[in-house]
Structure 1
Amino acid sequence: MQMRLRTRLSLAYALLAVFLVVLISVLTNVFLEKQFKEYIVRQQEARNIEIVSMLSRQYDQGENRWNNSTVQNIGVSALEQGLIVKVMNPDGSTVWDAVVHNNGLCTQMIDHMAHNMTSRYPDFEGAYEVQTYPLMQDGVPIGTVDIGYYGPFYFTDNDLAFINTLNQLLAGAGLIALLLALLLGSVTAKRLSRPISKAVEIAKEIGHGHYDSRILDTSNTLEINKLTSTINELAEGLANQEKLRKRLTVDIAHELRTPLTTLQSHMEAMIDGIWQADRSRLESCHEEILRINRMVGDLEKLARYESEDLVLYKEEFDLQELTGYLLKNFEADFRNKNIAVTLQGEQALIVADRDKISQVIVNLLSNAIKYTSAEGAVAITITCEQDQIRLNVRDNGIGIAPKDLPHIFERFYRADRSRTRNTGGAGVGLAIVKAIVTAHGGTVRASSTDEEGTVFTVTLPAP
């Protein structure tokens, strides 16, 4: 897997590098060649103007004649630059003509320039062009000059050598860039593939049940770090779920063992004739059966509340009024333990399933009674905020240990201190609370100080 991923990443970087190098090289070549063409055209015009200027100074108006030797030198020099010059008087008579001077050289030069252009541009449509310029001296016309060349532009041997050298440099730079890109791509692919491959290996180990596996390596890539942290969190969550599953097995076995053992011993004693099947012993067996039935009922209720098909029969009602009504059902329980209970808050209208919200309040009140010592206190507060209704149930009971607090809403989770016949229950009450509140789009949380008390906060959306 690692080699395959690394190879794919390297190939991807290589293809990207080739594409970018080729694209940059082509665009650079096109841009530079366009600029060079424009430069050649400007240079051609500048040479023409320079020749016109030099020729204009070769006429002596006082003696009404040309400096023929200098004119010839200018014409020959221009011919060497690929320009065919013809100087004429105002009456049209010829002063000097490069074709007359050396017709063979002119023809050879034109053919050579045409060959240079067609060798570089096979479809180049060029031809011999002539531009005529007036010759002036002190504002007085002294003649004209025809300057012929291969147009609209042409490349000399030096120009072609420059272009070829430039292309070779671009090709070399592109090759070097390609090699560097391949090297960089290989290194980057290795750096990316290694943590990904490690994540795949750890994910496989987690899939096989090794929930203690973790990715300890870090990366400079933010996305890779997010991936590894997500996998580590997944492993942590699965490990916690595995612990809860094992604890569930122990809890259910613990809860079932006592009533079943009692039933078995009583039944065997009555079957063997050691005990008589009188009313008191049958009532004792019936009580144990009821305990088992209550636990099964709690499990069924939790399964129903956590079901995706849970149906909520919503209506508008006053949460403060409902809480006060339910408190009356617990008056005897609070009185038996001499627990002081208070309800504070104003009218709080919500739209929810009245029966299920009642179950939430009943579970929280039952929980407070169980874990609040005699002479303790329970305070219930209802507050209305801008977009939510908040229900707080505070007690000053035994509290919840920090190690247990994150798990108290898990199904069947109970702190060790609560595993007594006095508190009882299957450990699903708070799980039911969470399921109902979540189904209503609300939240529930708990804060506690060990041996000082606990606060449960239920937040429901306001209508």
Structure 2
Amino acid sequence: MKYSLKSKLSFSYAVMSLLMVALISFCINVLLQSRFQDYVIKEREQKNTEIVSMIEKQYNGLNGGWNTGTIENIGVSALEQGVIVRLKDAKGKTVWDATVHNNGLCVQMLTHMSENMNSRYPGFKGGYEQKTYSLKSGGQEVGHAELGYYGPYYFTDNDIAFLNSLNSILIAVGVLSLIMALILGAFMAKRVSGPISKSIRAAGQIAKGNFQQRITESSGTREMAQLTDTINHLADSLEKQQDLRKRMAADVAHELRTPLANLQSSMEAMLDGIWEPSEERLESCHEEIIRLNRLVGDLEKLERYEAENASLTISVFDLSGISQLILNNFESEFRKKGIALHFEGKSVTVQADRDKITQVITNLVSNALKYTPEDGNVSVSVQESERGAELSVADTGKGIPPEDLPYIFERFYRADRSRNRRTGGLGLGLTITKAIVDAHGGTIEVVSEVDRGTTFTVTLPKD
């Protein structure tokens, strides 16, 4: 049988509360009884001292005798307090003895004390104890007082009643604490299990493809808040990935549809005899085939970079030198479009795949050329920082809208919704660039402002 999280938490809180209440009550009971025992023993010693002091005062130094009448009253009063008094003079002769005065009462008192202690503490090891005190008058010993009692300690009826009342109070407090703990436990269990249950339901909806599911309730517990934030972030990510997949499917279909449609119409026209299979028309069909082949080649290249990111041909070369060579190849195209091209950098040696890094630089410079208008500027710089070798490509083009920045490295993603074949490309250049940089353990960052320009920064590790 499976139980809900709330039930398990409530049960756990109840058990923990019960154990804690029982442990606290036991410790308090033991501590109080220990203290009470010490108090009873000290009280017994104090009473003995008082009795001895009163007896000592009954000696008459003038005639060397004892005031037996008062001593008898003291002895009877002590007997009522659980003390058996026996007084002897200096020669050892008994002056007064409680057992002689009323032996039956003495036996009855000791028996009652024994029953009290055994009822409270079964198997209590106690019995009759006796202490002898020296009596002095004028600096001389005039006799001895023997005080007998039930030891090592005993509880009177009032003491037993007090302890019972104390235990009743502890039990009442324990029960009340347990009830409060159960109420608090149920509240805490609900507070803990509530966000978890909502997270489970939200995760179930996300698993079914409902990526719009969100957890709106906030939690005061840090871990619960982190859990709900993680679930919501997961839903956001999956929803964005779903949108990207749909957009990628549409872009792939568009990229394939146009050349295939052109090929189909041209071939059908030539087969039907409407067009002559001239060299010009065949060349147009060939261009569409090349475009399709380039698309498939880029997809294969991207898949290879992402799947085999460790397959690199590492060599040592100067990043500034290779950058300048690439810019020299682009110089005529920049001049033709009327864009100023600048380079700044010093020699920075890196260990990387020369061909793949060449493609990274080519892709970034090509993008800058493509999206920078006439009379614009493109600046390329290479420098060494604490993070490694940094390559930056900055342009003064139209920039990338903020809502598009997080997705520019996705496959087929283009901020230009018009899909202009001349400026839009296939949407794979930056994806391939990032795959190459990732394969080298580096990073690529982009900063852009609409109508102000874009800067791509590639950082390659030093080692």
Identify the residue that residue 266 of structure 1 maps to in structure 2. 266
Tell me which amino acid in the other structure corresponds to 1:59.
Answer: Y
Alignment check: 8 A CA contact 2:414 2:424 kept:
no
| SS of 2:334 mapped into structure 1 | helix
| Alpha-carbon distance in structure 1 between the residues aligned to 2:170 and 2:391 | 74
Identify the residue that residue 351 of structure 2 maps to in structure 1. 351
Identify the residue that residue 19 of structure 1 maps to in structure 2. 19
Identify the residue that residue 219 of structure 2 maps to in structure 1. 219
| Alpha-carbon distance in structure 2 between the residues aligned to 1:194 and 1:240 | 28
Identify the residue that residue 303 of structure 1 maps to in structure 2. 303
| Alpha-carbon distance in structure 2 between the residues aligned to 1:410 and 1:252 | 13
The verdict on how the C-alpha distance between 1:442 and 1:136 changes in structure 2, with shifts beyond 3 A counting, is: farther
Alignment check: 8 A CA contact 1:304 1:310 kept:
no
Q: CA deviation at 1:275?
A: 2.1
- Determine whether 1:339 maps to 2:346: no
- Determine whether 1:257 maps to 2:262: no
Mapping 1:396-435, distance limit 5 Å: 396-417=396-417, 419-435=419-435
Aligned residues: 463
Identify the residue that residue 125 of structure 1 maps to in structure 2. 125
Q: CA deviation at 1:178?
A: 0.6
Q: CA deviation at 1:352?
A: 2.9
Identify the residue that residue 99 of structure 1 maps to in structure 2. 99
Identify the residue that residue 289 of structure 1 maps to in structure 2. 289
| SS of 1:294 mapped into structure 2 | helix
| Alpha-carbon distance in structure 2 between the residues aligned to 1:64 and 1:448 | 119
| Alpha-carbon distance in structure 1 between the residues aligned to 2:184 and 2:376 | 70
Tell me which amino acid in the other structure corresponds to 1:461.
Answer: P
| SS of 2:155 mapped into structure 1 | coil
| Alpha-carbon distance in structure 2 between the residues aligned to 1:321 and 1:245 | 39
Tell me which amino acid in the other structure corresponds to 1:446.
Answer: V
Question: CA offsets per residue over residues 397-425 of structure 1, 9 Å max, x none?
Answer: 11111221121122221113562110243
Q: CA deviation at 1:308?
A: 6.1
Identify the residue that residue 388 of structure 2 maps to in structure 1. 388
- Determine whether 1:436 maps to 2:436: yes
- Determine whether 1:376 maps to 2:415: no
| Alpha-carbon distance in structure 2 between the residues aligned to 1:449 and 1:353 | 32
| SS of 1:86 mapped into structure 2 | strand
Question: CA offsets per residue over residues 215-266 of structure 1, 9 Å max, x none?
Answer: 1111222222211111111111111111101100110011111110111111
The verdict on how the C-alpha distance between 1:79 and 1:407 changes in structure 2, with shifts beyond 3 A counting, is: same
Tell me which amino acid in the other structure corresponds to 1:116.
Answer: N
The verdict on how the C-alpha distance between 1:448 and 1:418 changes in structure 2, with shifts beyond 3 A counting, is: farther
Q: Which runs of 4+ in 1 moved over 6 A?
A: none
Pick which of 321-330 and 209-218 moved more.
321-330
| SS of 1:311 mapped into structure 2 | coil
Pick which of 65-74 and 165-174 moved more.
65-74
Identify the residue that residue 367 of structure 1 maps to in structure 2. 367
Identify the residue that residue 89 of structure 1 maps to in structure 2. 89
| Alpha-carbon distance in structure 2 between the residues aligned to 1:44 and 1:6 | 56
Mapping 1:133-152, distance limit 5 Å: 133-152=133-152
The verdict on how the C-alpha distance between 1:142 and 1:459 changes in structure 2, with shifts beyond 3 A counting, is: farther
Q: CA deviation at 1:68?
A: 1.4
The verdict on how the C-alpha distance between 1:80 and 1:380 changes in structure 2, with shifts beyond 3 A counting, is: same
Tell me which amino acid in the other structure corresponds to 1:122.
Answer: P
Identify the residue that residue 231 of structure 1 maps to in structure 2. 231
Tell me which amino acid in the other structure corresponds to 1:71.
Answer: I
The verdict on how the C-alpha distance between 1:314 and 1:127 changes in structure 2, with shifts beyond 3 A counting, is: farther
The verdict on how the C-alpha distance between 1:353 and 1:46 changes in structure 2, with shifts beyond 3 A counting, is: farther
Aligned-residue CA RMSD in angstroms? 2.0
Q: CA deviation at 1:280?
A: 2.4
| Alpha-carbon distance in structure 2 between the residues aligned to 1:352 and 1:325 | 17
The verdict on how the C-alpha distance between 1:394 and 1:52 changes in structure 2, with shifts beyond 3 A counting, is: same
Identify the residue that residue 111 of structure 1 maps to in structure 2. 111
- Determine whether 1:241 maps to 2:241: yes
Tell me which amino acid in the other structure corresponds to 1:433.
Answer: T
Alignment check: 8 A CA contact 1:295 1:425 kept:
no
| SS of 1:123 mapped into structure 2 | coil
| SS of 1:416 mapped into structure 2 | coil
| SS of 1:174 mapped into structure 2 | helix
| Alpha-carbon distance in structure 1 between the residues aligned to 2:350 and 2:418 | 34
Pick which of 383-392 and 100-109 moved more.
383-392
Question: CA offsets per residue over residues 377-398 of structure 1, 9 Å max, x none?
Answer: 1111222222433222100011
- Determine whether 1:30 maps to 2:30: yes
Q: CA deviation at 1:332?
A: 2.9
Tell me which amino acid in the other structure corresponds to 2:372.
Answer: T
The verdict on how the C-alpha distance between 1:316 and 1:27 changes in structure 2, with shifts beyond 3 A counting, is: farther
Q: CA deviation at 1:345?
A: 2.0
Give unmatched runs, 5+ long, in structure 2. Answer: none
| SS of 1:366 mapped into structure 2 | helix
Tell me which amino acid in the other structure corresponds to 2:381.
Answer: T
| Alpha-carbon distance in structure 2 between the residues aligned to 1:315 and 1:376 | 35
Pick which of 435-444 and 50-59 moved more.
435-444
Alignment check: 8 A CA contact 1:383 1:390 kept:
yes
Tell me which amino acid in the other structure corresponds to 2:331.
Answer: E
Q: CA deviation at 1:444?
A: 1.7
